[in-house]
Amino acid sequence: MENTHGLASVAADIPSLAAQARAALGPPLSASEQSLLEQEITALLSAQNAVLVAHYYVNSQLQDLAEATGGYVADSLEMARLGLEHPASTVVVAGVRFMGETAKILSPEKRILLVESSAECSLDLNCPPEDFSTFCDQQPNRTVVVYANTSAAVKARADWVVTSSIALELIRDLTTQGEKLLWAPDKYLGDYIQKQTGADMLLWHASCIVHEEFKGEVLVNLKTQYPDAAVLVHPESPPSVIALADVVGSTGQLIQAAQDLEATLFIVATEEGILHKMRQSAPGKRFLEAPTAGAGATCESCAHCPWMKMNDLSRLAQALRHGTGEVLLDESVRAQAAIPIQRMLAYGRKHSGGR
């Protein structure tokens, strides 16, 4: 097996960009302000034949409003698939930029609006298309597999697009077929998959700013404090955290585990927005955020994605009032990016009944 870790340039100043996102967060709304905005948004969605799809990581107000107005709360690719299947002519995406792009890739005839067009993802930012294309050109005999958390241009360079829910199964199958792989962008997810499958994978070096902050040594302390708690971990987390997990899985898989496991207390290592859906789907159970601080940390965590938190009711109303945040893609890029996504969707339907 060749070296499993490839070098890649990291161009974005993620801390500065994240700080700018945090600084742009709006003040909390009063109950009356929230109610008025929800009424207006509901009317605008209906008037514009629009549907709201929200990621599990955005705030609970948007998740609840999406479901109350006939929309959806889901993971990134399921958001795009649901937007495709829904009869609405406009899909409003509460998430980050690559999610809006993925929705446009699958639904080019629809108007796709982002609640906040400047909401980014550190994985996407740290996989610049030009650098990634050069990286691929240096490994022409490898099958290129990219995570959904990438730009349309990076997806267009790939043979496969995957989500964390399908990655293990697909990589295992490609390895059985003798494929050598190039993986991007998440180094921790790639490392986890490589260890689980034995795949020959050359990894791009990027990570999620939220998941990278989880610390194995302080998670041990929290587990000692709550010995009966089950630990749910997203595979974008560092290996020391994954090693402590009872369940490692995608957002949807972790939500399902919270329902299925007999445990009544859970420590959750992923973006804290998911706790809203977990509490809804597993009432009577308790959920703690995995710690991200150093020695002496408690269940208090800073596992908040600043870009996800930019999605709020005020920005959503603004997008619907003025049509801001519309996602536009070069058609040649969109069409090329659709190929590996459709390939993954077909694989998913064949191997797991469409999910």
The residue extents of the domains of the chain are: 14-20+30-120+308-324, 123-207+336-352, 211-289
Instruction: Summarize pLDDT for 211-234 with one digit per residue, the tens.
Output: 999 999 989 999 999 999 999 999
Instruction: Summarize pLDDT for 298-320 with one digit per residue, the tens.
Output: 433 468 899 999 999 999 999 99
Q: What is the mean pLDDT of the chain?
A: 92
* Residue 64: pLDDT band with limits 50, 70, 90: very high
Q: What is the mean pLDDT of residues 40-56?
A: 98
Residue with tokens 């050069």: 134
Superfamily per CATH, domain 123-207+336-352: NadA-like (3.40.50.10800)
pTM for this predicted structure? 0.92
Assess contact for 122 and 14: CB atoms under 8 A.
yes
The confidence score (pLDDT) of residue 7 equals 46
Chain-centroid distance, C-alpha 318: 24
Chain-centroid distance, C-alpha 4: 24
Q: State the fold for domain 211-289.
A: Rossmann fold (3.40.50)
Options 1.10.357.10, 3.40.50.10800, 3.30.460.10, 3.40.605.10; which CATH number does 14-20+30-120+308-324 get?
A: 3.40.50.10800
* Burial degree of 29 (CB within 10 A; 0-12, 13-18, 19+): middle
Instruction: Summarize pLDDT for 1-45 with one digit per residue, the tens.
Output: 344 444 444 456 888 999 999 999 989 999 999 999 999 999 999
Of residues 123, 127, 57, 128, the one with CA closest to residue 93 = 57
192: amino acid identity, one letter: Y
Minimum mean pLDDT range among 13-17, 126-130, 217-221, 290-294: 290-294
The confidence score (pLDDT) of residue 76 equals 84
The confidence score (pLDDT) of residue 3 equals 40
Cα(first)–Cα(last) distance of the chain, in Å? 32
Q: Do domains 123-207+336-352 and 211-289 have the same CATH topology?
A: yes
